[in-house]
């Protein structure tokens, strides 16, 4: 089945055309509530919810967002040590956004994994471009309603 360490299945209320700040607050509230059940075994959750099963599809979510904190790398004299994501040639779900902190470069890289039966490269590249435009808009004006922001970037 795979490793389910620190995976939270979250659903956040996006009604009312919230600003990014409001949406972020909602996400935070949902996250904190979910963490209060962090000790619940995944198998028990599946047993209690009895989700509809379909081969090749996760029963609880189709899109996954992963955050990888900047690692503490060993210092080796005369050797530059870096961490690089490994492409396994398959996606764990329909779509995965993996964000990697790069503390030395003070940046975050994003790796997209996707099910090639559902998405093609051009679609994912367009999605990546829209994500960049969305993040730029959020930084410029976090109080702007999300619906207007999404229409502006073409999502």
CATH of the domain at 52: 3.30.559.30
pLDDT < 50 stretches in the chain: 1-2, 4
Distance CA 20, CA 110 (A): 20
Domain of residue 129: give its range.
20-153
Helices (H), the chain: 20-35, 42-49, 121-140, 146-153
Distance CA 75, CA 105 (A): 16
The pLDDT of residue 2: 45
In total, how many domains does the chain have? Answer: 1
The pLDDT of residue 89: 67
In the numeric block, the tokens 């051009």 are attached to: 122
Asked whether residue 135 is domain-assigned, the answer is: yes
Asked whether residue 27 is domain-assigned, the answer is: yes
Asked whether residue 91 is domain-assigned, the answer is: yes
Asked whether residue 3 is domain-assigned, the answer is: no
Asked whether residue 6 is domain-assigned, the answer is: no
Q: What is the pLDDT of residues 70-114, one digit of tens each?
A: 777 777 788 887 767 666 666 778 999 988 887 766 788 888 999
Supply 78's token pair.
Answer: 């005369």
Asked whether residue 13 is domain-assigned, the answer is: no
Asked whether residue 9 is domain-assigned, the answer is: no
Asked whether residue 14 is domain-assigned, the answer is: no
User: pTM (2 decimals)?
Assistant: 0.73
DSSP string over 9-48 = ------TT--BHHHHHHHHHHHHHHHHTTTTS-HHHHHHH
The pLDDT of residue 126: 94
């Amino acid at each position: 089945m795979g490793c389910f360490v620190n995976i939270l299945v979250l659903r956040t209320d996006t009604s009312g055309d919230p600003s990014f700040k409001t949406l972020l607050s909602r996400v935070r509230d949902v996250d904190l509530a979910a963490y209060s059940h962090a000790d619940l075994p995944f198998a028990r959750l599946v047993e209690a919810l009895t989700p509809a099963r379909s081969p090749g599809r996760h029963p609880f979510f189709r899109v996954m967002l992963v955050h990888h904190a900047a690692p503490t790398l060993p210092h080796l004299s005369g050797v530059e040590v870096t961490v690089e994501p490994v492409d396994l040639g398959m996606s764990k779900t329909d779509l995965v956004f993996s964000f990697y902190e790069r503390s030395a470069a003070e940046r975050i890289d994003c790796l997209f994994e996707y099910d090639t039966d559902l998405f093609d490269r051009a679609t994912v590249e367009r999605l990546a471009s829209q994500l960049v435009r969305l993040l730029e808009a959020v930084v410029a004006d976090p109080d702007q309603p999300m619906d207007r922001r999404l229409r502006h970037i073409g999502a």
